[in-house]
Amino acid sequence: MPVVLITPEVMLHKSGPWVDMLQQAAFDVAYPKNPVFTRGSCSEEETIDELSVCDAVIAGGEVFTNNVLGALPNLRVIARSGVGFDKVDVAAASEHNVVLTITPTANHEAVAEHALMLLLSAAKRLPFNDRSARAGEWPMQQSWPVRGTTIGILGLGRIGRSFAVRAGALGAKLIATETNVDEEFVKKHGIELVDFDVLLSRSDYLSIHCPLNDDTHGRFNKTAFAKMKSNCILINTARGGIVVESELIASLESGRLRGAGLDCFEVEPPSPDNPLFRMEQVACTPHVAGSDQKSQDDMGIEAADCIVKLQSGEWPEAAVINRELQDGWKW
């Protein structure tokens, strides 16, 4: 029987509808020997060893390099649990005839909700206020309103749109940068489309909702920070690599930026000494924005669905990243 390796930590040795779906389609389900395999810190050798048993994988954060993909002749499908695929060499996957899918509709609401939590937490200075209240200091300093401010959204994909619906309910003016525009949505929610430099110069709060790729890597660097409205609060629930962390830290220290809400970091896991953790104007969470209870189940179901469909000759168009493989691809 073909084998599906399930690597995300939250799904290890857990029953769930995704397991039933795979078993009904006559797959065997297996798990990595190393329980923290999916954190992405294994060598290529160990990665190949863990993956050599399987025909398809429900993948978390493990790294699929060209070398890894070249050494796995049986691998047919990488079904990423989540929407990011920056840990996969897509060209190499296509080269080796491996279909790469994501779970496009499973977690956008979770991420949007988490991003707004970080925004409000930074605006209302919760790390500072909570620490000082527990210490018996009652600083009673002003926080910053959200209503009547301008919230900038970089990227109006599924997550950006979910974020916009919630941000609108807080009474803020919304501006966004997006090339592939859903006109009807933008009109309905009164969003003003602007180019990136205007987004930087006008946003009181700026939330990043674009993928990490060659275009966006390091996009928030000191040049961008210098163009940002003074006292802006930056929210990043997308990917750490979009922000140059050392330059973010400098901008926070100088007061150029008022604060930040961060769920992702340049290097994950970040060093325990990362100065961001000790900054009270920063609300940090450990890359959990996309994984709430419902999205975890939905990601498992959507990923399993991709594998089952591909095996039965269907093509899950909306979830496939390397669509160039469609013609003539067989399990």
Partner 1 sequence: MDYSVFKVVRVNSESFPVTSFEQEMYDEYGITPDCCEINSVEQLSEVVRDADAVMVVSEPLSTAAIHAMQQCRVICRLGAGTDKIDVNAASERGIVVANVPDFCVEEQADHAFALLLAVARRLNEMRICMLQGKYHDGRQQSRPLRRLPGRTLGLVGFGRSARAMARRAAGFGMRVLATRRNMSTSDPDADSLNVKLVEFETLLAESDFVSLHLPLNDQTHHLLDRDGLAKMKPGSVLINTARGGIVDENALADVLGVGHLAGAGLDTFAVVDVHESPAMPPKHRLFEMDNVVFTPHVAAFSVDSSREVGYGSVANLVAVLSGCWPSPDRVVNPKVSPRHSLRI
Q: Which residues are catalytic?
A: 239, 268, 287
Q: Work out how close the CB of 114 gets to partner 1 at its nearest, in angstroms, rounded to a whole number.
A: 6
Residue 295 sits in the site that holds partner 1 (CB under 8 A)? yes
Which one of 68, 75, 238, 284 is in contact with partner 1 (CB under 8 A)? 284
Which residues pair with residue 107 across a beta bridge?
A: none
Residue 230 sits in the site that holds partner 1 (CB under 8 A)? no
Residue 266 sits in the site that holds partner 1 (CB under 8 A)? no
Q: Which of residues 143-162 bind partner 1 (CB under 8 A)?
A: 143-148
Residue 222 sits in the site that holds partner 1 (CB under 8 A)? no
Residue 14 sits in the site that holds partner 1 (CB under 8 A)? no
Residue 285 sits in the site that holds partner 1 (CB under 8 A)? yes
Number of residues interacting with partner 1: please give it, by CB under 8 A.
62
Residue 169 sits in the site that holds partner 1 (CB under 8 A)? yes
Residue 166 sits in the site that holds partner 1 (CB under 8 A)? yes
Residue 141 sits in the site that holds partner 1 (CB under 8 A)? yes
Residue 288 sits in the site that holds partner 1 (CB under 8 A)? yes
| Beta carbon nearer to partner 1, 225 or 265 | 265
Residue 138 sits in the site that holds partner 1 (CB under 8 A)? yes
Rounded CA Rg of the chain: 21
| Contact status, residue 177 vs residue 154, Cβ threshold 8 Å | yes
Taking the CA atoms of 299, 303, 306 and 308 in sequence, report the sign of the dihedral they define.
negative
Q: Which of residues 23-42 bind partner 1 (CB under 8 A)?
A: 36, 39
Which one of 42, 72, 79, 123 is in contact with partner 1 (CB under 8 A)? 123
User: Contacts for 242-251 with beta carbons within 8 Å, 24 or more apart?
Assistant: 242/208, 242/210, 242/212, 242/216, 242/217, 242/218, 243/208, 243/218, 243/219, 244/218, 244/220, 245/274, 245/276, 247/220, 247/221, 247/222, 248/220, 248/276, 249/275, 249/276, 249/279, 250/222, 251/222, 251/225
| Beta carbon nearer to partner 1, 73 or 286 | 286
Contacts of 69 (CB under 8 A, 6+ apart): 75, 89, 92, 93, 95, 96, 98
Q: Work out how close the CB of 209 gets to partner 1 at its nearest, in angstroms, rounded to a whole number.
A: 17
Count CB-CB contacts under 10 A for residue 126.
Answer: 17
Which one of 215, 272, 313, 328 is in contact with partner 1 (CB under 8 A)? 272
State how far the Cα of 109 lies from the Cα of 209, in Å rounded to an integer: 12
